Structure 1
Amino acid sequence: MSVPRRPYALLVALFLLVIGCSAGAAKTASPRVVAGPEASAAPSPSPVVLAPPRKIPGLGPLTRVQIPATARQAVVVTGQGPDLNRSSVVLYTRDDPALGWRPEAGPWTAHNGMKGWTDHHVASDLRSPVGVFGLTDAGGRLPDPGALLPYDEQSGFDVSGEGFLGEPLDGSFDYVVAINYNRTPGTSPLDRDRPLGEERGGGIWLHVDHGGPTQGCVSLPEDRMRDLLRTLDPAKYPVIVMGDAASLGR
């Protein structure tokens, strides 16, 4: 009597089906996730540390805050003392606000008011005003040397007589830059408008040094005045920061 073949064939088919499913499962299994010490994580990039913008040396927070954010040129006049008439001038430039200020020219020696400096300038006190002021207008008795600021050439800048030390004043106003203390910006340095009133003085300029102290202006050698006139750029909103060292350091 022969053994029926149908049950045997059914068993073989079931076996092959199981083997096939197992192989398919092996082929589609998810990759093994490695954690802990076996993981090879990529190193994180080091953070970029930017240096703070460079500050103008010698200026304290109360002075720095007066410099407009738009200013990219600053003429810094540092007096030797509150009652002294000698000072030092450095021109600073800020081309990139993220980098801050850098010295461009100087230091140059200069004179200021005969009796030094004051936080409250009044007419005839013989002191230079402390503060931060715009520089928008220039002029002089001599022809324009290549100034970038508007330049007013006229004979009204002629001056004569003697200074406090008996030095001749001739040529002192050959080149001038008006300091925007008690004046209307956008006018000739010779303009007599005094927004704060006549009692608060005016006519405070950068001008050619005559070898002695001034009435309240800041004076530089003639070649340095020419340098400034060719450098101060209205597109860079230049300012002057002026005062004795102690006042500027506040």
Structure 2
Amino acid sequence: MSLPRRALVGLALLLVGCAPDGSSPSAAVSPALGATSAPAVSAPDVPAPDVPAGQPVAVAAARPAPPELPRQLPGVGAQLRSAIPAGARQALVVTGDGPDASTGHAVLYRDDGDGWLAGPTWPTRNARKGWTTDHRQGDLRSPVGVFTLSDAGGRLPDPGSRLPYDRSDDFVISGTGFDGEPLAGAFDYVVAIDYNRVPGSTPLDRRRPRGSGYGGGIWLHVDHGGPTHGCVSMTADRMRELLTALDPALHPVVVMGDAAALAR
């Protein structure tokens, strides 16, 4: 059967790759003619083959970030951390410069619920012969450990202490220290460290629950410019700052010792 002339012309144009208007046909229309780079054609929105039309597609949940660890007390190891009472929210960390050194530094930390936040660093002095984990009367070493801070006092008027403050003329000392420095004024401000003492009493209380052989009267007090017998000392302005910062509602403690002992 013969085809009409117009149909024959159209078929010839298609075979030679020309459009009736003289332009080249789209490669998308004639892929069989060797087109290699078809322009992008948007596919219609259709559901995936295995998901019924109209049904929501499950989206994988984002992987949660790992929980952050609470901020720890720098330099304080597991042994002493475990000795900090559960309710303590303030910790004065006193770090000695060495087991036999009489100098160091202190930082007052506060637990804000996510861990410990540091305050400023203050220089300190401690006992003449350094530190010990087995303090005895007259050994000239400061005791290593975690101790509560519950009572304060001094020769000078209360600077605004939140701890109970005993203002008394009995906070007096005279003479000279190990380096020949005058001791006067060392007890102008004190905070009793609850080592072998009765918490809730004036720092002047001389009761020793463990016996006199273990020593006592271990205080934070004003620096007199030389080593102590067993106490920890700071300058008068730092002691005033400490007294106004310690809050019995936060159950403050002191964590004290040389750096190696604290890190255990």
**1:102 corresponding residue in structure 2:** 117
**Aligned counterparts of 2:233 and 2:192: Cα–Cα separation in 1:** 12
CA drift of 1:37 comes to 9.8
Find the partner of 1:155 among 145, 156, 169.
169
Q: Does 1:218 align with 2:232?
A: yes
CA drift of 1:107 comes to 1.2
For residues 203-233 of structure 1, the C-alpha deviation after alignment (integer angstroms, 9 at most, x for no partner) is 0000000000000000000000000000000
Q: Name the aligned partner's letter for residue 218 of structure 2.
A: I
Q: Name the aligned partner's letter for residue 138 of structure 1.
A: A
Find the partner of 1:146 among 153, 160, 165.
160
**2:16 corresponding residue in structure 1:** none
Find the partner of 2:204 among 166, 171, 190.
190
For residues 141-189 of structure 1, the C-alpha deviation after alignment (integer angstroms, 9 at most, x for no partner) is 0000000000000011011110000000010000000000000000000
Secondary structure of 1:184's match?
Answer: coil
CA drift of 1:42 comes to 2.9
Structure 1 residues 37 and 67: CA distance shift in structure 2, 3 A? farther
Structure 1 residues 175 and 42: CA distance shift in structure 2, 3 A? same
**2:72 corresponding residue in structure 1:** 55
Q: Name the aligned partner's letter for residue 171 of structure 2.
A: F
Give the length in aligned residue pairs: 216
For the 8 Å contact 2:51–2:57, the answer to whether it is kept is no
Secondary structure of 2:170's match?
Answer: helix
Secondary structure of 2:150's match?
Answer: coil
- Which runs of 5 or more residues in structure 1 are unaligned? 1-32
- Which runs of 5 or more residues in structure 2 are unaligned? 1-47
**Aligned counterparts of 2:170 and 2:49: Cα–Cα separation in 1:** 88
**2:219 corresponding residue in structure 1:** 205
TM-score by length of 2: 0.79
Structure 1 residues 82 and 37: CA distance shift in structure 2, 3 A? farther
**Aligned counterparts of 2:140 and 2:168: Cα–Cα separation in 1:** 26
**1:234 corresponding residue in structure 2:** 248
For residues 82-136 of structure 1, the C-alpha deviation after alignment (integer angstroms, 9 at most, x for no partner) is 111001100000021xx110102x2111100000000010101000000000000
**2:11 corresponding residue in structure 1:** none
- Percent sequence identity is 59
**Aligned counterparts of 2:179 and 2:117: Cα–Cα separation in 1:** 36
Bigger helix fraction: 1
**1:81 corresponding residue in structure 2:** 98
Secondary structure of 2:255's match?
Answer: strand
**1:69 corresponding residue in structure 2:** 86
TM-score by length of 1: 0.83
**Aligned counterparts of 2:231 and 2:200: Cα–Cα separation in 1:** 19
Q: Name the aligned partner's letter for residue 77 of structure 1.
A: V
Q: Which of structures 1 and 2 has the bigger CA Rg?
A: 2
Secondary structure of 1:136's match?
Answer: strand
Point out 4+ residue stretches in structure 1 off by more than 3 angstroms.
Answer: 33-39
Find the partner of 1:179 among 193, 215, 222.
193
For residues 1-44 of structure 1, the C-alpha deviation after alignment (integer angstroms, 9 at most, x for no partner) is xxxxxxxxxxxxxxxxxxxxxxxxxxxxxxxx973598621341
Secondary structure of 1:155's match?
Answer: coil
Secondary structure of 1:199's match?
Answer: helix
CA drift of 1:69 comes to 1.2
Structure 1 residues 45 and 37: CA distance shift in structure 2, 3 A? farther
**Aligned counterparts of 1:42 and 1:51: Cα–Cα separation in 2:** 26
Q: Does 1:35 align with 2:41?
A: no
**Aligned counterparts of 2:50 and 2:67: Cα–Cα separation in 1:** 36
**Aligned counterparts of 1:34 and 1:227: Cα–Cα separation in 2:** 72
